Structure 1
């Protein structure tokens, strides 16, 4: 019960912090991620019983019909590179948290924020502007096609680079 109340409170905070102008608000992607907020971190985890970072992104994308491998470095090899200032909800963002290349991944949700499975806090929303993530940011990849993006976010895009 406590976990559910915490998740509900965090979800409301996220909703208010993201704002209604976000491509993330009130979308399929929002609904999928919202249900995972507060889930514990579990090394190797791929379900709502517990996630690691790539297990989380793998789970989210499986719910929208896109298969991802269970390893952040392998996910980084997929899709099309996206500049940080061109991120859209549903893009994957990657970080070097180990000092040995890509070792962490999350899902961009709009307004400079991303959802991810933090090893210390479980599934949370963080800002790309946080000092920790700024220093470790490696890049982003767009996995979703234009049609899939529009389906899961409810937004119509005019981005030519969304495949």
Structure 2
């Protein structure tokens, strides 16, 4: 344990003495400080992380004999800390740039009321909600109150960020201290910052909308691919399933025969109260299909939910009846046909069609064969 402590001290001392280069203690300390250091890393911890993470990933994939992935993961592991730090900094700065506008407004109000800008700066932390921004503004306030050296306090505040907006803020305050033209400078910078923030928000909104549209398109393509695959399977079932011939003996119906027969009515228009191929409602469709096989179902959805016996989602098979509604009361139904799909007659203006069965208002399923 003592040897580990000594090794740590030696390496830490080496870093502190190393004033230049990539592994310079001061360079790493400033780098972490400007990015907010959300992981609370020391320069020593940062370097150890940069070395250990890629080494662990490399060995892990090397053991599985995946040499290419081992190299790729090692490179990724080397930069993972920087990615985390910069991502968090970017998230923080989005909020800070908006709150900086509130700081400008507060300073403008205070100085317009005759308050010296140095005194006004000590209250800026009150309008901030971002933890990092609020803490640094509080430190700025404390340093001004203790040292009365506003310029040095501003320099220290600036060193905590890697942001042109913060640089402009500090420069504006310093210039106003020299020129005394506080209100005009603050108002101009505040308006400019708010315009840039508005543009960024609009651009982010466009990105979100574009992403949402892409996701919706991919979901639609995925659903259509599944439906087309299901239709191909139905066509194969129809080709291989012998024509059903009613008999006077016991009823024995295959799920393939039910699916094949139900698919004959794809495109049939919805008709409220309809029970024939001229037009079906949801329960009229299922009743008509099963009647063809000599199985008599109740007329309405709330009747058919009591026919047969209940089956869980894990036990679903083609031919099972699936029910939908709110509060356990069924208002719609159809026939499960496999592949996560069901065939049904949805609503006025629609037709008998195939849709994904896994709706949020799903209630239960019944098996009647």
Unmatched tracts of structure 1, length 5 or more: 1-12, 145-163
Q: Distance in 2 between matches of 1:107 and 1:77?
A: 15
Are residue 95 (structure 1) and residue 324 (structure 2) matched? yes
Match of 1:64 in 2: 293
Q: Distance in 2 between matches of 1:67 and 1:14?
A: 29
**What secondary structure sits across from 2:330 in the alignment?**
coil
- 1:117 deviates by 0.4
Match of 2:264 in 1: 35
Higher helix share: 2
Match of 2:278 in 1: 49
Q: Is the 8 A contact 2:274 2:280 kept in 1?
A: yes
Match of 1:109 in 2: 337
CA RMSD after TM alignment: 2.2
Task: Tell me which of 21, 25, 31 is aligned to 2:237.
Answer: 25
Q: Distance in 2 between matches of 1:44 and 1:56?
A: 10
Q: Is the 8 A contact 2:265 2:277 kept in 1?
A: yes
Higher strand share: 1
Match of 2:305 in 1: 76
Q: Is the 8 A contact 2:259 2:318 kept in 1?
A: no
Question: Which structure ranks higher in relative contact order (CA pairs < 8 Å, sequence separation ≥ 6)?
Answer: 1
Match of 1:154 in 2: none
Q: Is the 8 A contact 2:328 2:363 kept in 1?
A: no
Query: Scaled by the length of structure 1, what TM-score is found?
Result: 0.69
Q: Distance in 1 between matches of 2:259 and 2:306?
A: 25
Unmatched tracts of structure 2, length 5 or more: 1-225, 239-255
Q: Is the 8 A contact 1:80 1:141 kept in 2?
A: yes
* Distance 1:18-1:40 versus aligned 2 partners, 3 A rule: closer
Question: Residue by residue, what CA displacement relative to the aligned partner does 1:90-142 show, whole Å, maximum 9, x if unpaired?
Answer: 10000006x6711111001111111110104220111123xxx2x11000001
Larger of the two Rg values belongs to structure: 2
* Distance 1:19-1:36 versus aligned 2 partners, 3 A rule: closer
Query: Scaled by the length of structure 2, what TM-score is found?
Result: 0.32
Q: Is the 8 A contact 1:46 1:56 kept in 2?
A: yes
Q: Is the 8 A contact 2:321 2:335 kept in 1?
A: yes
Q: Is the 8 A contact 1:15 1:25 kept in 2?
A: no
Pairing 1:7-18 to 2, within 5 Å after superposition: 14=227, 16-17=229-230
